[in-house]
Structure 1
Amino acid sequence: MTRNHLSTALILLVMTLAVLGLAKSGLPDIVPVVSASGAFQSSADPFTTMMKVLTHQRCVNCHPAGDRPLQGEDSHYHNFGVRRGPDNHGVAALQCLSCHQRENNNYAGVPGAPDWSVAPLSMAWQGLSRVEIARSMLNPTNNGGRSLAEVVQHLTEHELVLWAWDPGVDANGVPREVLPVPKAEYIAAVKAWAAAGAVIPAE
């Protein structure tokens, strides 16, 4: 066998072993990434990435189905018997802004962001599937008459929404859970989903 033939045989052997190795181990999961320009780049669809955030308890806690907001990683009823109130900002001496200021109070473990409030009942997400949440989110009757562009703006720019990536610490000084999708990745996914027609998949 000549040297060229030997080299060719070795290359073929290496390629064969590589293919067999992939077949045995399976392909790795593809993780969504964001390009330098902020564009969404992933084999996973933007809707799935977006919904990993919107179905997280941190979002659902502020979209309760009842009169009482939820709190904590376990989504228990808000302490002190807090109620949503007529304008979704609490009642009487238990207004949201009585405790929740414009930024986190890490000394007391109280989260904060501008216009702290609960979502109106028309936008309750508690107990809904990701598809039901999306349908409600795009329904002008439920979302306060927002257009798709305004929904995207709310999801990607509203300070209370973006607080979810900077939740501070709890009353014991323990950092709150990190969301499953980085902020830049989420924002890119929302915009990509909307740009592609805001398609809502079947359940």
Structure 2
Amino acid sequence: MMKRFSSFSAALIGLVFAGHVFAQLATPTNPTTLKPASEFDRIENKQDRAAALFIEAGKVINSPRCQNCHPGGERPTQTDAMNPHQPWVIRGADGFGAPGMRCATCHQAANFESSGVPGHPKWHLAPASMAWQGKSLALICEQIKDKSRNDNMDLAALVKHMSEDTLVGWAWKPGANRTPAPGTQVQFGALIRAWAEAGAYCPKS
């Protein structure tokens, strides 16, 4: 009887252990996090390391918080679902909207929580030359390095922009029910800095 009980106990413990392992394997990676830049130091090939760093930073670049303001057309998108902006607005010549419907008409200096309208003192769209929607990370990578399209920023200026610009930083403090960009701006800036230091090579796709 004791032998049968021991066998049953061992089998039960085995099932519990297997279930625990399976649960760990089945738990998805938290999409709100970023790997630290230091985690990529072990990749010896600089080209491979740079590409891997940019792919990790791409979690931010491809988030709705960034994509909404880098639309493929003249009309921005909004919400986590990236729906066409309501009311109908367009980029305008300077990115701050069309005459009579400027961005600042609705978007104030800070998020207006009671209505859910996001805000920042310099709220505007990225220039058309920096349109990201519908593009692969490889194309976006080449795009942001191109001084003829990125407002003449060299790599040092690009790193500073990604790391310190407060409008970029809004992506982590979007207010209302919007999902923040993954990680933090500090982590994102560190990934971009490490990517630049590794040669600013781009992913292949």
State the TM-score, normalized to the length of structure 2: 0.75
Question: Counterpart of 1:111 in structure 2: which amino acid?
Answer: P
Alignment partner for residue 167 of structure 1, among 171, 174, 177?
Answer: 174
User: Structure 2 CA distance, aligned partners of 1:120 and 1:188?
Assistant: 24
Rate the CA distance shift 1:100–1:32 in 2: closer, same or farther, 3 A: closer
Give the corresponding residue for 1:192. Answer: 194
- Give CA-to-partner distance per residue, 1:28-86, whole Å, 9 cap, x none: 98x8654xxxxx32148321221110111211110111111111111111111111111
Which of the pair has the greater relative contact order for Cα pairs under 8 Å at 6+ separation?
2
Q: Check conservation: 1:84, 1:91, Cα contact below 8 A.
A: yes
Q: Tell which deviates more after alignment, 153-162 or 177-186.
A: 177-186
Give the corresponding residue for 1:142. Answer: 149
Alignment partner for residue 85 of structure 1, among 92, 114, 134?
Answer: 92
Give the corresponding residue for 2:181. Answer: 179
| Cα displacement (A) at 1:181 | 2.5
Rate the CA distance shift 1:183–1:145 in 2: closer, same or farther, 3 A: closer
Structure 2 runs not aligned, ≥5 long: 1-20, 41-48
User: Structure 2 CA distance, aligned partners of 1:50 and 1:114?
Assistant: 25
What does residue range 1-203 of structure 1 map to in structure 2 within 5 Å?
34=36, 40-43=37-40, 45-169=52-176, 175-203=177-205
Question: Counterpart of 1:183 in structure 2: which amino acid?
Answer: Q
More helix by share: 2
Q: Check conservation: 2:70, 2:125, Cα contact below 8 A.
A: yes
| Cα displacement (A) at 1:92 | 2.2
Q: Check conservation: 1:52, 1:181, Cα contact below 8 A.
A: no
Question: Counterpart of 1:58 in structure 2: which amino acid?
Answer: R
Q: Tell which deviates more after alignment, 54-63 or 42-51.
A: 42-51
Q: Check conservation: 2:55, 2:203, Cα contact below 8 A.
A: no
Stretches (4+) displaced over 4 A: 31-34
User: Structure 2 CA distance, aligned partners of 1:85 and 1:160?
Assistant: 19
Q: Check conservation: 1:68, 1:84, Cα contact below 8 A.
A: yes
Question: Counterpart of 2:137 in structure 1: which amino acid?
Answer: R
Give the corresponding residue for 1:14. Answer: none
Q: Give the fraction of aligned pairs with identical amino acids, expressed as a percent.
A: 38
Q: Check conservation: 2:130, 2:149, Cα contact below 8 A.
A: yes
Structure 1 runs not aligned, ≥5 long: 1-21, 35-39, 170-174
Q: Check conservation: 1:114, 1:159, Cα contact below 8 A.
A: no
State the TM-score, normalized to the length of structure 1: 0.76
Give the corresponding residue for 1:12. Answer: none
Secondary structure of the 2:134 match is coil
Give the corresponding residue for 1:16. Answer: none
User: Structure 2 CA distance, aligned partners of 1:189 and 1:94?
Assistant: 37
Question: Counterpart of 2:114 in structure 1: which amino acid?
Answer: Y
The number of residue pairs the alignment matches comes to 168
